[in-house]
Amino acid sequence: MTCPAILSLEDFRDTQRRAAIRQRLHDRFDCWLNQLEDRMQDPTPTLAELTQAVFALRQELTQAVTEGLVEHTHRAALEQRTAVCPQCGQTLAARGPQDRTVETLVGAIRLRRPYFYCERCQVGTTPLDQALQLTKRRKQPDVQKAAVQLTKEIPYEAACELFEELTGLPLSAHTAHDVTQAVAAGVTVLDVAPSQEEILAKIAAVAAGRPWRPILVLAIDGADVPTRPTTAKGRRPGRKKARAKRARWIGEWREAKGFRFYLLADDRIVQVLSWHQVQTDDEAAEALRQVKAAGLIPEERVRLCVIADGARWIWKQAQALFPSAVEILDYYHCSEHLHKVAVLQYGAHPERQQEWYEAALARLFWGEVHGVIWGLQRMKPTDAPAAEEIDRLIRYLQRHQERLDYRFARKGGYPMGSGGIESANKFICHVRLKRSGAWWYVTNANQMLALRCAKYNGTLDRVFARYQQRLQDRSG
Ligand SMILES: [Zn+2]
């Protein structure tokens, strides 16, 4: 015969308390239903009218449920009578209770909890806040994250409007700005880079069922970003009526130098790692060096190919870091150089200009760079500027001869142009940074670029988790 369950006094109290909390929740739900009924005039509402009414009142319900859950799950912290000072070890008596309201995506949560304060050490603690891992800001991390999801896509004012419309929570442009900056502060290339395992998994997925190692392209290029000098500062950014005055400073287009690693898979590109910043050549080179040093590029698993324009820092760095990579000079940058010569040399004869340009391009396409150089060396320059441009092109082609074998590139399945990075410039830089009337402080532009790189690299959650950890460390 089994014994009937014996309830201890403790269990009994627990059950009672649970029942009481439930009852309070039920009461609040009843109250909520009444409110909802009052709101609906029409006895036979449409679905849209129904959902509208529920949507408008949803937070009163979800916040009540959350408050009930806090009460239920954190009884110890809510009823704590004494605490030990973390510094001097003295026993402290509870003070309060004190009210605090925090904003979350399910609404404003009201908390009423005891706190402890050591007069001697002038240190205070609030056990409930610690147990709930609350952060100092009124807006908790879920709200902050949602805000950043929007600000990284659209201008601050629009992000705030949308945020309020979708969540029913207030968000000022100032706060949106602050939070975005805080999340992106100090983020480096290694923070936004996927892990070694993630990169290997992508490579394995592309390589599956193929005899050849997949091609991993490293494309390097710059994109123009509209910047404003730091001297334009003085007023807080993001405030509609108090923007820095245009007249006092001159905007400047600066180059966001970036690189993008991507895999070629049949008819598509698989994003691996992007990093774009308004930075010097040395800084860009250093970021690339860090990626290599972190062991993120498994050269033995791929056929690595570097594609870029003629910028010297790129090739110097690429050769130092990835000496075995196939190097390709971007076909389109190259064609622009040819076009310049065509215009200067044959400007007076449009037909001749077009003929020469197309023939030279076709030769390059077929890997006959020597033929093009030979032809240029024998060309009789029309005038001094043409002579200069011809010389320049000869030097350019000679310098990059090895990188101009487009016939070999095509046969090997390598790309000829840096279309991959140009599209990255568009979706990472231009889409967010090039807005009419938007001029960015370099710091802010770089923070925004870091967030957008994280998004496309699939690491935004990690960047945010690290930010949240920083907040915890600070409040703890
Ligand atoms: Zn103390």
Residue whose pair of structure tokens reads 């319900």 in the numeric block: 61
Query: Rounded to the nearest 5°, which phi and psi values hold at 308?
Result: -165, 175
What pLDDT does 417 receive?
79
Dist. CA 135 → ligand 1 center (Å): 23
Dist. CA 91 → ligand 1 center (Å): 8
Residue whose pair of structure tokens reads 């510094």 in the numeric block: 87
What pLDDT does 1 receive?
45
What pLDDT does 228 receive?
79
Q: How far is 16 from 354, CA to CA, in rounded Å?
A: 90
Closest CA to 230 of 434, 445, 428, 435: 445
Average of per-residue pLDDT across 57-79 = 90
Q: pLDDT > 70: what percent of the chain?
A: 93
Structure confidence by residue, pLDDT tens digits, 402-452:
898 888 888 888 888 777 667 777 777 777 777 766 777 888 889 999 999
Dist. CA 93 → ligand 1 center (Å): 12
Dist. CA 474 → ligand 1 center (Å): 19
Dist. CA 130 → ligand 1 center (Å): 18
Instruction: Name the band, by pLDDT with cuts 50, 70 and 90, for residue 243.
Output: low
Convert 164-217 into a string of H (helix), E (strand) and C (coil).
Answer: HHHHCCCCCHHHHHHHHHHHHCCCCHHHHCCCHHHHHHHHHHHHCCCCCCCEEE
pLDDT over 50 at 27, yes or no: yes
Range with lowest mean pLDDT among 201-205, 223-227, 321-325, 406-410 = 223-227
Residue 250 neighbours by CB under 8 Å, 6+ apart: 229
pTM higher than 0.75 for the full model?
yes
Apex 278 CA angle, 273 and 284, nearest 5: 55
Range with lowest mean pLDDT among 90-104, 217-231, 275-289, 360-374 = 217-231
Dist. CA 467 → ligand 1 center (Å): 30
Structure confidence by residue, pLDDT tens digits, 163-221:
999 888 889 999 999 999 999 999 999 999 999 999 999 999 999 988 889 999 998 87
| Cis amide linkage into residue 97, ω under 30° from 0 | yes
Range with lowest mean pLDDT among 1-15, 109-123, 143-157, 280-294 = 1-15
Which conformational region is residue 353 in: left (phi greater than 0), alpha (psi within -120 to 50 degrees), or beta? alpha
End-to-end CA distance of the chain: 52
- Both tokens assigned to 151: 């600000």
Query: Rounded to the nearest 5°, which phi and psi values hold at 269?
Result: -110, 135
What pLDDT does 149 receive?
93
Average of per-residue pLDDT across 347-357 = 89
**What is the three-class DSSP state of 109?**
strand
Q: How far is 443 from 167, CA to CA, in rounded Å?
A: 29
Dist. CA 92 → ligand 1 center (Å): 8
- Both tokens assigned to 97: 């209770």
pLDDT over 80 at 60, yes or no: yes
Dist. CA 136 → ligand 1 center (Å): 22
Dist. CA 102 → ligand 1 center (Å): 28
Per the CB < 8 A criterion, the answer to whether 200 and 295 are in contact is: no
Instruction: Name the band, by pLDDT with cuts 50, 70 and 90, for residue 6.
Output: low
Dist. CA 124 → ligand 1 center (Å): 9
- Both tokens assigned to 222: 């710059």
Exposed (0-12), middle (13-18) or buried (19+): which is 162, by Cβ within 10 Å? middle
pLDDT over 50 at 223, yes or no: yes
Please provide the size of the chain in residues.
476
What pLDDT does 436 receive?
66
Dist. CA 407 → ligand 1 center (Å): 76
Dist. CA 117 → ligand 1 center (Å): 8
